[in-house]
């Protein structure tokens, strides 16, 4: 199982030739994919109604992991550590990283710069 960041899904959406997307590359390594409810939220607020069919069809093929109390506890630890280091990242990225870390699954992203700051998070 691989947790997909919003950047991977947006890349898939934008590419006319889906076989040239990062997601398509990942298909050769894994066949189980998940997203966080935070990713679903990020996509939802940036989504045009005319694109809803694409996103809903994609979501039906993915496992959607909730951001729950356990993820929140991990996120608090990450936030506290990064704040002490003066290396805070975008809140949504922090919450997505916490979801991956709590569920002990690697994260695929096109934005490694921020996610690399999270200790113990495995990036693809």
In 1-124 the beta strands, taken as DSSP E runs, fall at 2-4, 33-36, 63-65, 107-108
* Total residues belonging to the chain: 124
pLDDT the model gives residue 118: 96
CATH class belonging to 2-115: alpha beta
Question: For position 51, what pLDDT does the model report?
Answer: 83
Mean pLDDT for the chain overall:
94
In angstroms, rounded to a whole number, what is the distance separating the alpha carbons of residues 27 and 91? 28
Q: Could you read off the pLDDT of 56-110 as tens digits, one per residue?
A: 999 999 999 999 999 999 999 999 999 999 999 999 999 999 999 999 999 999 9
Whether residue 97 contacts residue 121, with contact meaning beta carbons closer than 8 Å, is answered with yes
Whether the per-residue pLDDT at 48 is higher than 90: the answer is no
The side-by-side arrangement of strands in the sheet containing 2-4 is 63-65, 33-36, 2-4, 107-108
Q: Could you report the per-residue pLDDT of 9-28, keeping only the tens digit for each?
A: 999 999 999 999 999 999 88
Q: Where are the domains positioned within the chain?
A: 2-115
Expressed in angstroms, the distance from the first to the final Cα of the chain is 11
User: Does the pLDDT value for residue 49 go beyond 80?
Assistant: no
Residue 79: predicted pLDDT: 98
Tokens, residue 65: 């992991």
């Amino acid at each position: 199982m691989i947790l997909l960041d919003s950047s991977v899904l947006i890349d898939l959406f934008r590419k006319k030739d889906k076989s040239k997307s990062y997601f398509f590359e990942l298909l050769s390594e894994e066949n189980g994919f998940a997203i966080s409810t935070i990713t679903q939220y990020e996509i939802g607020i940036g989504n045009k109604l005319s694109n809803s069919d694409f996103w809903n069809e994609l979501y039906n093929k993915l496992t959607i992991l909730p951001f729950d109390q356990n993820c929140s506890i991990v996120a608090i630890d990450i936030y506290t550590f990064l704040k002490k280091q003066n290396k805070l990242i975008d809140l949504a990225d922090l919450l997505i990283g916490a979801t991956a870390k709590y569920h002990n699954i690697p994260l695929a992203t096109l934005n490694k710069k921020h996610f690399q700051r999270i200790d113990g998070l495995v990036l693809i």
